[in-house]
Chains A and B, each alone.
Chain A
Amino acid sequence: MLQEKYKTEIDEILSRYPVRRSAMLPLLTMAQREEGYVSEAAMKEIASILRVTPPQVYETVTFYTMLNLKPIGTFHIQVCKSLMCALVGSDSLLVWLQARLGIKPGETTPDRLFTLSTVECLASCGTGPMMQVNDDYYERLTEEKVDRILADLKRDGTSPLKSGPFILPEPEGAHG
């Protein structure tokens, strides 16, 4: 139960908004931070905190690709499938990832290491194709780079190829 564990934080979040319902996204973020995804129990609890119905919380969760409705793997790979990335080959990148991981978008590998998703534009259109893994960006991807990233993640839990997120202008030498 979030309320038992994070009473003060929840109160603080609620105090920020004149309309109670506005606290929905911060509370959902909290729930996801807690369990890695937003569980039904969490949605019900948030509904009761905000005095809305569970369907109203659910519809919000389904709108945001950053909120997961199912438990996810250690690494959540989110491939941009919007227009700019598509023009520079995000679809073949996705095919490559699927082949390497043996899963389709929306699925998790049996070892629970990787979850693959497709998402809309992540605002790195100049450096596509790109993907986000947990909180990190990986840009100007190639098949060979993807293989290295996957290997790094498996071995070290992180990869030096990550590139942000950052705010322009790009820092020197951001892309190895």
Chain B
Amino acid sequence: MVKLTIDGVPITAPKGTLVIEAARQAGIMIPHFCYHPKLKWDANCRMCLVEIERVPKLQTSCSTPVAEGMVVRTATTAVTQAHKSVLEFILANHPLDCPVCDQGGRCDLQDFSHEYTPTTSRFIEVKRIFPKEYFSALIETQMNRCVQCLRCVRYCDEVMDVKALAPAGRGTMTEIKHFTHHELDCEFCGGCVQICPVGAITSRLSMYEYRPWMLKRADTICTYCGDGCQITIQTKENKLIEVNTAHGAGRNNGDLCARGFFGYHASTHPDRLQHPLVRRNGELVQATWEEALGFVAETCIRLKMEHGAEAFAGLIASRCTNEDLYVFQKFMRLAIGTNRIDSSARYGQINGVRALRRVQGTHRWAVTFEDIVAADALLLVGTNITETNPITGLKVKEAVKKRTATLLTVDALVPAVGTISNIANLAAHHFPVHPDRFGHVVLGLIKAVVEDGLVDQALAHRAPAYVQAIGDAVQALSWPALESATGTTSGALREAARIFARAARGVVLVGQGVLRSPGGYGLTTNLLDLLLLTGQHGRPGCGLAPLAEENNDQGAVEMGTVAEYLPGPCDLNDPTARERIAGLWKEELPKGPGRTLTETLEEARTGKVKAMFVVGENPVGSLPHAARAKDALAQLELLVCQELFLTETAALAHVVLPACSYAEKDGSFTNTEGLVQPVRRAIEPIGESRPDWEILSALSVLMGYPIEYGDAKEILKEIRSLIPGYGLLGAGPNPPRPDEAVVSRYLREGYAEDLANRYAATQPTEKRTGHFTLLVTQSLFHSGKFSTRSTGLLEIQNTGVLGLNPADAARLGVTDGDRVRVSNTLGELTAPIKLLERIPEGLAVFPEHFDEEARRLLGVSTDPQTRVPYCKSAQVVIEKL
């Protein structure tokens, strides 16, 4: 610690602290433009000058570290004079257009000018004028206003690693551009908009719509992915004006991605359902809440009498709040009387949770975002993390770029600089393999750990049989076979294994490429084996982190809205848990089995299930045609959908009940790390829409099993009585420690049941020449069920474009924008193509949000253990059109 005084105030600060930060911590604000705590200092604006005793000239406090005994003065005549002249120079060029500038009212230049400058200027020269250029549909630049602090450029490079902004020219005439006269093509994270201290870079989505002081603010949580970023929704007269976040806020620490920053208009899309709809004479027609709910309740009672409670099933989207999810399962279990409940966590999240529970007895990560940043070695498997979990991706980037963690990546994409991040570019070792061979790389790593004496000694003592069994299993694999399957050398695998095993803190992140692909559960378990064997398991800061795709995937599991769990999550058949929950609910729990998504659809098809409640989930629009969800749902005698929009599934319903979006309700979401965060209402409900839990509660009353709550808080209180401490709001997650009893059981016997399967290096089927693997994946610009209703995100991406490797495209005789036909025995689609260097030869990538056609081509297989439907890839032929 270093002692110094600033303006007479004695201060102690850690060595290396910058004077400007030390002052801020003592409550002394030093004016600045170019400094930002997130960025390396640049000291280009000279606004932060201070006097330091015994130093002859004024010093930039943003670049001067504190020193023992330093005496700093921030408010002397010389300093004030310096502020004045810096501002006078800036204002020599800065236009006086505050009245038409969106930054007006929250502009650093405005504030500092108000505080430090006389109102007249000595400059009579003409101001610098840049010809106005179109920048992009979402981001506006007004370079005449730029103070050339380069915060935007540095943010885009240092934090985002996108490097899309160029300070073009020099001196006064420097302007921020993209690439020559091209419009901006980047990740559209909005970071440059947020970090610009003046109004030189602003959002076009809210242009000229507001003055900051007119806006009402609500701090809530973004609904577009499992990262759970804190956002502030700003509204004016119940209209969504803009979304931003403050530096330091939330798990995202003030950073956002395009979905969070530009995706907010979905909630007020004109197609939002405003009234309940009931099917009459084959048509969905508007009805009152009384009519609609009355009809549902009556029909439910009748069907229950006729067919029993087991003829009902429920499906809910994990984008709902914990409160919605909780009430949903309680409604299904008590008012209806069935355990046939599942949610979109089934699409992949459940693989991660099941593996964690099996091996370490937790359903959450044992690590946090901070542990990712602090890790020495990071292994990413099956994820170009930025595209699904952009903010977790920033933590990885920070670990690698600022903390020099070693990054190891296993993914289908190859390193190549593009307009959006490609995490493989930062990897020390990247293993580019076909998506069905990620498992082979992991087996190679485990084999290397065993053969090169990298097995943790303590583990070898604790579980010799386990180590022996895995040792035998990997010994049985031959290096040449692994090398040929992975296209890499045993040397590279050994080197990566050594880095990971020797790291002081190792973290494994596993993404959708594993969790949503055949063998996902087994491979996730193998990654836990890798952590155990290398001694990276159970130590603080180390562990496995399966990435949640939907914002409340984790909550959906914990609230018990998946087939195998009760709230907790507790196993559906765990007698103690059942007794405890029944005690709290004062009601017997149904005895019937849980059913997963695909099982339920099958039962609907065969007529075993007669009625379904579908809340925010859209199986017809999400599953491939091969799953025949539409046929199944069409058989039902009653299909009730709670929805925001008339989706493909809702269009089949007998009753559609309009639900509120996250922006219109209170509650909580649990992010990928397991942090429960408050969701707050920003606008009044659209039309007659109501929160999902409220709809279910109203129904329960009509059905004679009242499940009533005054507000969302009461529900959370009840959840807390079941899961002690749930959602007690703290600054960060408090990750669970692995349960050593469970780990011991796994090491003793649990590993053995499927060991042979997990450690079999199946000979990957050689691809036929001319055949491509089509991958349908999430893109950075769309996620969840309603991003395609957001005007902002549609500006960035509004059609399905097939990504192809340039060499493949050349062979097909096509180039950017040309259309191709993609087909297999199941169907075909035509789409324009885009050449992308990061896509390897033989692969074709299509965005899942525009996959209406592509879904025809996909088959479905189900995980034998977790019943996760795998349906994201297909073998196809591509031809020029």
Contacts and interface: CB of A to CB of B under 8 A. Distances in A.
B417 A48 contact: yes
Nearest to B175: A62
Contacts of B168: 58-59, 62
Interface in A5-40: 40
Given A58-B166, A62-B168, A62-B170, A69 B180 contact: yes
Interface stretch (A49-57, A95-103, A144-152): A49-57
Contact of B180 (A48, A53, A58): A58
Contacts of A47: 417
B167 interface: yes
Interface string B156-187: 00000011111111100000011110000000
Interface string B193-235: 0000000000000000000000000000000000000000000
A54 to B, nearest CB: 5
Contacts of B165: 55
Nearest to A65: B170
A63 B177 CA distance: 13
Chain A, interface SS category: helix
A151 to B, nearest CB: 33
A62 B180 CA distance: 10
Given A40-B180, A47-B417, A58-B177, A52 B166 contact: no
Contacts of A48: 417, 837
B163 A56 contact: yes
Interface residues of B, number: 17
A52 B425 CA distance: 11
B180 A56 contact: no
B417 A55 contact: no
Nearest to B167: A59
Contacts of A69: 180
A132 B662 CA distance: 65
Contacts of B166: 55-56, 58-59, 62
Contacts of A54: 179
Contacts of B179: 40, 43, 53-55, 58
Contact of B170 (A52, A53, A58, A63): A63
A54 B180 CA distance: 9
A58 B169 CA distance: 10
Contacts of A59: 166-168
Given A47-B417, A62-B169, A63-B170, A52 B180 contact: no
Given A40-B180, A47-B417, A48-B417, A55 B170 contact: no
Given A58-B177, A58-B179, A53 B169 contact: no
Nearest to A51: B417
Contacts of B163: 52-53, 55-56
Contacts of B164: 53, 55
Contacts of A63: 169-170
Contacts of A40: 179-180
A62 B167 CA distance: 9
Contacts of B837: 48
A73 to B, nearest CB: 21
Contacts of A55: 163-166, 177-179
A1 to B, nearest CB: 13
Nearest to B156: A55
Contacts of B177: 55, 58
A52 B417 contact: yes
Interface in B129-181: 162-170, 177-180
A63 B169 CA distance: 5
Question: Which of B164, B180, B419 is the most central at the interface, judged by chain A CB atoms within 10 Å of its CB?
Answer: B180
A53 B422 CA distance: 12
Contacts of B170: 62-63
B418 to A, nearest CB: 8
A40 B182 CA distance: 10
B562 to A, nearest CB: 42
Nearest to A53: B163
A144 B423 CA distance: 62
A55 B163 CA distance: 7
A41 to B, nearest CB: 11
Contacts of B169: 62-63
Contacts of A52: 163, 417
A11 to B, nearest CB: 20
A58 B165 CA distance: 10
**Top 3 A-B pairs, shortest CB-CB distance:** A59-B166, A55-B166, A62-B168
Given A62-B170, A63-B170, 8 more contacts: A51-B417, A51-B425, A52-B163, A53-B164, A53-B417, A56-B166, A58-B168, A69-B180
24 contacts: A40-B180, A43-B180, A47-B417, A48-B837, A51-B417, A51-B425, A52-B417, A53-B162, A53-B163, A53-B417, A53-B419, A54-B179, A55-B163, A55-B166, A55-B177, A55-B178, A55-B179, A58-B177, A58-B180, A59-B167, A59-B168, A62-B169, A63-B169, A63-B170
